[in-house]
Chain A
């Protein structure tokens, strides 16, 4: 069987070329130019507002071969969330393709062609669903037109069925493959002429299990047979293997290196200095010394044999960074007022009048994303053109960075995104890819793979920001909340790109802090200063984690002080079902989404609480030493509530009997993968609550590997995780999935520990705080 892909490409004069011409313009210009379908919407929200916006050209995303094989191009990074499967489900349904004849192809990094590709912020389906549907509907329309022309009948008598176009009146049909060549000659139909399939014609979208009850998983076979290709699985002839010794303190520089012992290690071929940029590092490499070898093991051994002096003065006070002392300093700073972010009523008067005054300070440490696949990248340069293979969340940033680094045009940099062995935010930063391209250049373009070890990954992560949150509340005689004061302190991710602003940015505060949904007469939200001493970066769910931990723990403390049932009290704090415009609570960000389409919906928050508590049989009495804990959180345009049922024994060991997770992300495109994201969030959140912590002393990270940076294992997995998906309502706007399940997990678990033991955890991780 031979196929002639190129000639059968559904090609015509496409918007693609026009888009290319607009490359120099801002994303907004592109968005405004290409959004007639969404003319009613503001042009500055959602996918429209992302760099390079969206593209819905069928020629970009869908290809049909003569044998009927449909290839769908996926432009988003696959890191376990299942987007390669889910987006193909969308295309297959709208096109009318049969799953058995559909393949997926991974797009290289090229936002001018594909639209925004930064796989971050739980945005992939939220932003790609509509454009992919339109692309597939356009391709279907072109197939129908090709059939109509061949049969010489009106096009409205021709209808796509499953992988065929049918002329019902005459009973004739032609397969997609038979029509592909003719269809490719047709113009792409106008966007507003397209008819999208009604929901009841979907065969894959929204279904948990199809095809013999085996979940659709486009890479499933490859994964279980070891054929799936991740970052380190690409091989090129003559390639070299590199590991790099990086400065142990953020901002430190190389002073001197003695590489004589390293060069004696069998298999080591060269030692190359890698320049660093100092601070702020942005996405640039930290610099250091690379050992280049014939295999990874030789490179690792060679690095061990390097004798390096670092210039710590270049790091300034980062060299004194001590995370314990820093926590104490932030806790102290939290006792004084800070920048006011939001204010309602007179907080001082409310706290003065209160019958009971509560106060608590919560702490969440640094963490590393620690995907099991550490950063790795392979680069080569041929004839002035660079090519890189890597597990990358944000290929465009990598491309731009490499073009700048090598002084070549963007078009001369190709970034191939492999599967990601987990991302969690780490792989949205292309520093490791820039290391590879730098070394390839140093080796005259020879292919070089830079492999990070686990030690590298933990020592040089873009760390989750440490956070101190101090809360105060005043309750009246009945326990009702009169006042709420919250001060949050964390270093900002902005410190990575610019001189440290020393306070959180709007988008960071907008992650559950500014947007706290409680209906309390007096509220004051403040953000005192905090500075960064390590690279700070995005970690799955980002600042929602500490905000949700503090707010949801404190709400439980308030309920206990009021002598009330936690669930009832939480519902009362939220108040009646209503929609809040984020702008009305001083949040200008709203995850980049239109506040009119994506309000903060109190009814949906209440809904997930009710569903999770009902499933967990909240009212049922538990024996001593056993307890239920609840937390709820809104983030990334979705709503999640978690109830844990735990037991704690006399030795302080926690057994997690069950987790009930209620989740509302609106329309459910691939419920099976939504469920798996909730399960995964639950597991990751348990680790955040119980074990995970990165600490620093004298500016150096103390954890070397997984025996010290502890993540959840099978032994701490709940005996049962039950996921309850609600509100699959087509009228709702799509919500995120990858991140919003995580924030409520740690507070729910700590609330359960409190219910079981009476011991309140305010400092994460729990560690040995329950012992004795």
Chain B
């Protein structure tokens, strides 16, 4: 048995310790907002937070996620930074197909928690591993700046 705390709720899972968190979330807990894109930490679609830090769920065994706060896209609205990111995403119409956007939003929220007002270079550094085949990057960059501005307004 593995115990995971996901979006503030405890879940007991009967899964092997090495099972990647991605598949535990998707197939077992059935939180499907976290996406599969590559399985080897090359696309960022599966990005979730462990104690507020962005990790790739596809290469994180559930054993490493025990005793930590797991936040997924389904829970990010409860976070002030996360909800500002979501708002900025809607204001700028970032998403095209939307498939990569859970991971993009989780990556952006983690960045903004660390760096309230990141430069373009800092955004690239944090987000270059989040791929988007639809090509929404320029709006992602703008939306991160917009979310930072919303943060300043509410500070």
| Interface residues in chain A, defined as those with a beta carbon under 8 Å from any beta carbon in chain B | 78-82, 213-215, 217, 219-230, 232-233, 235, 241, 266, 295-297, 300, 370-374, 419-424, 451, 453-454, 672, 676-677, 679-684, 705-707, 711-715, 717-721
Contacts and interface: CB of A to CB of B under 8 A. Distances in A.
A226 B34 contact: yes
Given A372-B131, A680-B96, A706 B136 contact: no
B138 A721 contact: yes
B86 A225 contact: yes
Nearest to A684: B135
Interface string B25-59: 01110111111111110110100000000000000
Given A226-B102, A706-B42, 13 more contacts: A220-B93, A223-B98, A224-B105, A226-B33, A226-B74, A230-B35, A232-B26, A372-B43, A422-B97, A683-B135, A683-B137, A706-B38, A713-B137
B90 A680 contact: no
Nearest to B38: A454
B124 interface: yes
Contacts of A711: 131, 133
In terms of DSSP, what is the predominant structure of the interface of chain A?
Answer: loop
Contact of A80 (B33, B35, B96, B139): B96
A226 B135 contact: no
Contact of B27 (A228, A295, A679): A295
A680 B73 contact: no
A197 B26 CA distance: 47
30 contacts: A80-B96, A80-B134, A81-B96, A214-B93, A217-B95, A224-B86, A224-B89, A225-B74, A226-B32, A226-B73, A226-B74, A229-B32, A232-B32, A232-B35, A296-B23, A370-B133, A371-B97, A372-B131, A372-B133, A373-B37, A374-B36, A422-B96, A422-B97, A422-B133, A454-B42, A676-B96, A683-B132, A714-B124, A714-B137, A714-B140
B134 A221 contact: no
Contacts of B86: 224-225
B79 interface: no
Contacts, number: 183
Contacts of A297: 19-20, 23, 27
Contact of A453 (B26, B39, B77, B101): B39
A226 B72 contact: yes
Contacts of A714: 123-124, 127-128, 130, 137, 140-141
Given A225-B33, A297-B27, A372-B37, A421 B97 contact: yes
B96 A221 contact: no
A373 B35 contact: yes
Contacts of A720: 138
B23 A295 contact: yes
B101 A712 contact: no
B95 A224 contact: yes
Nearest 8 Cβ contacts at the A-B interface: A226-B33, A683-B135, A421-B99, A80-B97, A80-B96, A226-B73, A215-B93, A680-B135
B100 interface: yes
A295 B24 CA distance: 9
Contacts of B38: 454, 705-706
B91 interface: yes
Interface string B50-82: 000000000000000000000011100100000
Contacts of B123: 714
Contacts of B30: 235
A593 B138 CA distance: 34
A660 to B, nearest CB: 13
Contacts of A421: 35, 97-100
Contacts of B124: 714-715
A658 B21 CA distance: 39
